[in-house]
Structure 1
Amino acid sequence: MTDDPTGRSRRSPGGTGGAHRRPTGHEVAELAGVSQSTVSLVFSGKAAGRVSAEVEQRVRHAAQQLGYRPHASASTLRAGRTRTVGLLVPDITNPFLGHVLRGAQRAGRADGITVALIEPGPERNWQLTAVEALNAAAIDAMMLFGIEPPLSDAPGPTVLIEAVADGFTSVLLDVRQGTTAAVGHLLDLGHRRIAHLGTDLPPTTFKARASRWRRELDRAGITATESPEVLAGFSLQAARGAAHQLLSLTPRPTALFCDDDLLAAGALMAAHDLRIPVPDELSIMGFAGTLLSEAATPQLSTVVAPAEELGAVALQTLLRTMDGHATAPRPLPMTLVPRASTAPPQRPSPR
């Protein structure tokens, strides 16, 4: 298995990749020596008169050898039992996820597909329980946002959003590009003591932000001593407490790069607690571009993620995956939006 620049895992040709990986229709076609459309005809019940008995037997034998279990196709979903897709998220209160849901709903509406929002919470065991329960229930497919799927007994048709797992198609934001833009903005303003207020949540997307933040500072010749890091729970108060730790250091950071606008808002609260003016003595950079970044005082500089487009692309990718076209789309780019929370560093005022 190899890694591509976006952080998605790619399977080496012919690799087994672990027992949990679900074989694809493309692999069945290769083994049987037929086209993927022929495999689709066989398992959709439309082979009669279009595929010979010998070819159909060869396809089914190849599927049996690989342990292939066909999913319902997108056409079956459109006319199936419920025409319902579940969007599982770890935290329903995150404002970003409402826009992801809206984008998915709009993309599914033309095909009569309903997207149901489900919150199993951040606890891993309960997430797995929810995935397994929904897989056995009257739901046709799933999109998992920031949730890794089970490592065995893989669920039915599934697309991951902002998460990566071997054997699954992922739809991702280009958080590395977004982080480069955010940290580059702070560097261009003249900051060197750029601390990272991160989150302790496990999804790949947060690890990618942290690694790119460090890489950009390394490239600028900024040491770890000049750029500390503190991880916080994903809440205002947790971010507030973590920011207190960073802002109590000597020398104090002149800028904070935050993993999310929510964490940046918590950092603003901490700066207010400590009477540190923003942006005169402290610049704060958010991430995601939620309405919270505009409602904060001062308004937060951030990198805007196309949340509705992310949801729409995820739903469209799910349908393509169910039709046997499992190529992941390119990561969606993010846009730097400088606002009032960032400025060139200044010498702290006397207390």
Structure 2
Amino acid sequence: MKNLTKIAAVVVALAASQVALAASVNLSRDDRVALTGNNTSPADWRLQDGMTFNGRSFDGVGRLLFNTSQGGYVCSTTLLPGGYFAVTAAHCADDFTSMTAEFGLYGDVAKETRKVTQAIVHSGWTGALGTGSDIAILRLDKQVTSIQGFNISTTNDLGKDFLIMGYGTTQVGNANAGTNWNEWGWGHYGYNTADVDGKTFNTALFGEYEGDDKYGMEYIADYDSYANGTKHNTLQILSDYAGGSWSSGEGLGMNEALIAGGDSGGGDFVWNGSEWLLSGVHSWGWQICPTSWGCDVSKANSSSWGDLSGSTAVFSHAAWIQATAVPEPATLAMVPMALLAMGALRRRRQQA
């Protein structure tokens, strides 16, 4: 795709009135923009062919290339068991005209490529973030048979460590420069922790709001500095400031990472002792820490130390996913190639 200057970022910032936390500090409930970063060169965190985590390949994490009336975009996705369906973010799938899913992608070469024939967008999705509805199921034109899909988590995984996967932009966490596509063609991984749910976080900072986690839970994580976690532990700083009920550790050291533009729809995976389960779907990033507080390393780098990310909790939608992503081999061939995108068509997206 040539139109890389328009490739999609993680999510959009919503239009919302500013809510003051203090006379000198204004934060908005929905000033969430797109974000990815690692603590060393992104090339150190590439998904490589043959790489496994606890013995499991992640070829089932894919890249989405799609077109809309506004241009060409990139998001990420996760293949489900059976090979007929994949999961992504609703904001990646609510108004595309064509979409291709690439699995087992290394150095811009995919092992399996499929066209997306249908997007089943969560019925609660209206373009508003923070409601727990930023999730969609994709129907593929042909079964993926050579790559194993991931089972979903049916438990609340708040407080657990996640393995993060996606095909978005990259940058080093302490860099004073924006994320970029220098690592185009490679997926990347890292780790983080689901420190607090969206409703608890938003209520403490902005007060009660009926839209928060209306359709499902959101997991929120921050990008702590591995060199000085206390300074950039934004979630703990905000909890202390607002009297929040959550606590946030100082990070996972060198392994910690944050999602980036293009990682939307990618997965947060949790290890249950025997397998990796898809636990969260990447939704948004947020530079919420005021510059004067010193916890955000760089406002030029939207995935720098001190920034936040949010993912839609899969367990909230387990029944919907299990009921919707049911292959019907005898009838799949009858599905027209015309796109049947269902659900809300309204969305707002910040372009990279």
* TM-score bracket for the superposition, by shorter chain length: under 0.3
Larger radius of gyration: 1
User: What TM-score results when the alignment is normalised by the length of structure 1?
Assistant: 0.23
Bigger proportion of residues as helix: 1
Greater relative contact order: 1 or 2 (C-alpha under 8 angstroms, separation 6 or more)?
2
Bigger proportion of residues as strand: 2
